[in-house]
Amino acid sequence: MQNIFEFTDRIIHSDCLTALPQLPGGSVDLVLTDPPYLVGYRDRSGRTVAGDDNDSWLLPAFSELHRVLKSGSVCVSFYGWNAVDKFFAAWRSAGFSILGHLVWVKRYCSNTGVLAYCHEQAYLLGKGRVKRPPQPIADVLDWQYTGNPLHPTQKPVRSLKPVIEAFSQRGGIVLDPFCGSGSSLLAAKILRRRYIGVELDRAHCETARRRLGK
């Protein structure tokens, strides 16, 4: 097994089911990730997300994330609300406990169906006994609109910063195994954390590397 620092401050072009087993167990301080939502997503310009058409990767990926995460640490995972049963089953089977729910409120609607969708959401998952932070963040946060120029489900860097600040320390390692265009990793870098990104799509991987290289 390689040393964790051989992987830090890198973005790996790979399937996470290939990359994650190479990481040492109990070596990561925080997982912050936006995996495929299992909804067959397609944006207005026709862009899709790899792995969004099946859930075969779901339990194996989160089992590996539980293994590499330090005991007492957390995983923050976005998810698709209409596939929440599949996410819950995988998270619990992987060994995570459900600690809370985070909601980011948008000042616009990203889609309209029976409801107008004006928020993003993620679950806070714990490994082992997670201590209460000195200053817990609110479970409702603001969403900064940036559009999706770099990725069909791009997340705003500023909106991810409070989570990283709350659940990791300077110099800690933040892992995103579905890093897309690298927003979570850029937020970690700005906050003086080390980062590890994994991305299956070569074009998105190169985008993330360019962002992190600036």
Q: % helix / strand / coil in the chain, to the nearest 5?
A: 30, 25, 45
Tell me the pLDDT tens digit for each residue of 10-36.
999 999 999 999 999 999 999 999 999
Q: How confident is the model at residue 1 (pLDDT cuts 50, 70, 90)?
A: low
Q: Residue 125 belongs to what H/E stretch?
A: strand 119-126
Which residues touch 57 (CB under 8 Å, ≥6 apart)? 15, 16, 17, 51
Tell me the pLDDT tens digit for each residue of 120-172.
999 999 999 999 988 899 999 999 988 878 887 889 999 999 999 999 999 99
Contact 179, 11 (CB under 8 A): yes
Q: What is the pTM of this model?
A: 0.94
Percent of the chain with pLDDT over 70: 99
d(CA 136, CA 126) in angstroms, rounded, equals: 15
